[in-house]
Amino acid sequence: MHYSTIAINNRRKEIASLAANKALELPLLPSGYWFHKDLRDNFYYAIHLFAYCVDKEFDCDWNEEQSKNAKEIALTMIHKVLSLQEKNPQNPMYGNWPLNLGNDPSKAKPNFLPVELMGCLLILFYNKYQHELPTDVKNDCYQALTHMYESNVYKQPLTYMYHHEAKHTSLKLLLGDFFHNKELVDQGHQLAKKQLNHIREFGFKEYGALPWFWHWVQSFTCVWDVVEDFEVRSTMSELLDYLWRLRADYYLKGTWAGPHSRQWPHDAPKDTNTLFDYIQFGDFPLPNDIVRLEGSALFTYEVSEDIVKSVTNRTQPNELKRKIKFSNADGIVTDKAHTYVFITPEYAVGGIWERINEYDNEQQRWDITLALTQSESVNQAFFFHPGEKYVPGDDRHSSSFGEVMYHKDTVIQVWNIPSDEEAHPFINGCLPEGEWKFTENKGYGKVGDTFITFQLMNEFNWEEKNDRISIISTLSSNWNGVIMEIVSSKDALVLGIHDLETYITAMEEKNKSCFTSEGSVNKTTVSYITWRNDVLQFSLDNMGNMDRVLNGHSISFVDYQIN
């Protein structure tokens, strides 16, 4: 067995042990479930607990009695979860499970979401462990799969080319294979190839959306693990290779650098949805907490060694310029966008040039990303103007206002909030913990092996919290702006910078006041010299007209490519 396979299997064992022990620590609610908010979490923890007890690969370190008791807990939970499936063929929700169980799980209404990934993982679980299951729970699993197969839960067309459809395609392949329906397998296979060709041609529009990106990966991995048909398995290998190469492009020691099309609180301002990265890459500390368990330790797919080495042995910066065409399944393009990420061995900087409106307003437009450590601190630094769905304390949900400029280690954003808008009158900032010093409108920090500086157009207040520093800067005549730059301690040393004081001196000498306003702030111009001595100029006026100039040349997107 290759050493990389041994390492990955060892990390799978660690995650299986972590999940199993967490499961035993979970308090049972009066209903007998661990969770009511999301039925699926009960299933995910239960199948990991059962697998840890019976799978010899996981080297369970419990004694026989402990293992027997844990297995019974897992089997009871699996039975309770599966019992909530809608079993009436006349019900429009036939084959589905509820999502939120409310106060009385027996009265919870079915939801379209649980079956998508949970259904794929149920087939994987049954395929791996059916011979270890007692007759009653084995029959529960088989009957649940039969209801899924006879229902409409997977009979969805390709329309939007997003994660829901990836899971529906996987269900077609898995159920077709399980019930020996070659026509359904062929249909699923054709749809999988169409999805692969689509993301190759138009780009991956769910960029940085970690719960949903991982659903692509997990559902197709279930197919790769279960379906033995050579052609199907070959397509799954192509799909997974594409997805993991995409993942690797934006990977920095457990983090997802650059913009996020959607994000949950576990994505920002700290990357914590890390179990799959830990198993495959393993170049950051073992997670202590689990925010998304799903099928983490149960997959046998192994990312190719060249992908792993390309990111775990990163020695040089890499600049990624990508174009995405937002298209439906018929290839009709409705919008396009350009993403930019600059990744070094110590940090990453990047974002999306055009703000894209999306469901629930959960896009993160840009950030500076630091590698994960054992620290409780957030690992992302960014500023944003709060928009729809924003609530204080949640550093997400930015508004549609503001324009950006990216270049290597530096981000510039300028906001002009129309006076007729009912908008928040301030800009928020989020900074990792470190050694920080602030002036009226500037900040300088030593964070890990990096130095970070920012300059705001207006003055600000700051507050130290338990895992971050929060910034609030008010608008001035509806305007505000920020410049952020980062440099590694190694590069700073070459510049004669060896501590925060010398960094502050160097930055002050290079850039005094960078914001200028013209015509009673009808136009704001930013001029900034980076630590690499690149000259950035960015201007924005009241009409939305802007200029982005790098070393005397206007920035264009001609060199941005799909994939």
- Tell me the per-residue pLDDT of 233-287, one tens digit each, with 9 for 90 and over: 999 999 999 999 999 999 999 999 999 999 999 999 999 999 999 999 999 999 9
pLDDT of residue 267: 93
| b/e code 45-56 from CB counts within 10 Å (16+ = b) | bbbbbbbbbbbe
Note the pLDDT of residue 409: 98
Task: Write the CB contacts of 157 (distance below 8 Å, at least 6 apart in sequence).
Answer: 329
pLDDT tens figures, 391-407: 998 999 999 999 999 99
Q: Where are the domains of the chain?
A: 1-112, 375-554
pLDDT at 519: 65
Encoded amino acid at 532, one letter: R
HEC string of 325-383 equals: EEECCCCCEEEEEEEEEEECCCEEEEEECCCCCCHHHCCECEEEEECCCCCCCCCEEEE
Per-residue pLDDT of 123-167, as tens digits, reads 999 999 999 999 999 999 999 999 999 999 999 999 999 999 999
pLDDT value at position 563? 85
* pLDDT score recorded for residue 18: 98
**Helix, strand, coil percentages, rounded to 5, for the chain:** 35, 25, 40
Average pLDDT over residues 417-446: 95
- Upstream peptide bond of 269 is cis (omega within 30 degrees of 0): yes
Residue-wise pLDDT tens digits, 314-360: 999 999 999 999 999 999 999 999 999 999 999 999 999 999 888 89
**d(Cα 59, Cα 196) in Å, to the nearest integer?**
37
Comparing 191 with 1, the larger pLDDT belongs to 191
DSSP line for 512-553: S--EEEETTTTEEEEEEE-TT--EEEEEEETTS-EEEEETTE
Q: Which residues of 146-155 are buried (b: 16+ CB within 10 A; e: fewer)?
A: ebbbebebbe
Residue 390 reports pLDDT greater than 70: yes
| Residue 483 near residue 411, CB atoms below 8 Å | yes
Per-residue confidence band for 1, with pLDDT thresholds at 50, 70 and 90: low
How many other C-beta atoms are found inside a 10 Å radius of the C-beta of residue 233? Answer: 15
Contacts of 458 (CB under 8 A, 6+ apart): 441, 473, 474, 475, 476, 479, 480
> What is the per-residue pLDDT across 207-246, written as a single tens digit (0 to 9) for each?
999 899 999 999 999 999 999 999 999 999 999 999 999 9
Q: What is the pLDDT of residue 517?
A: 86
Q: Please give the mean pLDDT across all residues of the chain.
A: 96
On the question of pLDDT at 64 being above 70, the answer is yes
Q: How far apart are the first and last CA of the chain?
A: 33
Non-local CB neighbours of 301 within 8 Å, separated by 6+ positions: 221, 224, 225, 240
Beta carbons within 8 Å of 116's beta carbon, 6+ residues apart: 153, 164, 167, 168, 171, 215, 219
pLDDT for 3 equals: 66
Q: Specify the pLDDT at position 75.
A: 98
Structure confidence at residue 520 (pLDDT): 63
C-alpha atoms less than 13 angstroms from C-alpha of 432 in its C-beta half-sphere: 29
Residue carrying structure tokens 């995650």: 15
3-class SS letters over 375-410: CCCCCEEEEECECCCCCCCCCCCECCCCEEEEECCE
Q: Of 448, 445, 483, which Cα lies nearest the Cα of 464?
A: 445
Structure tokens at 417: 């909030």
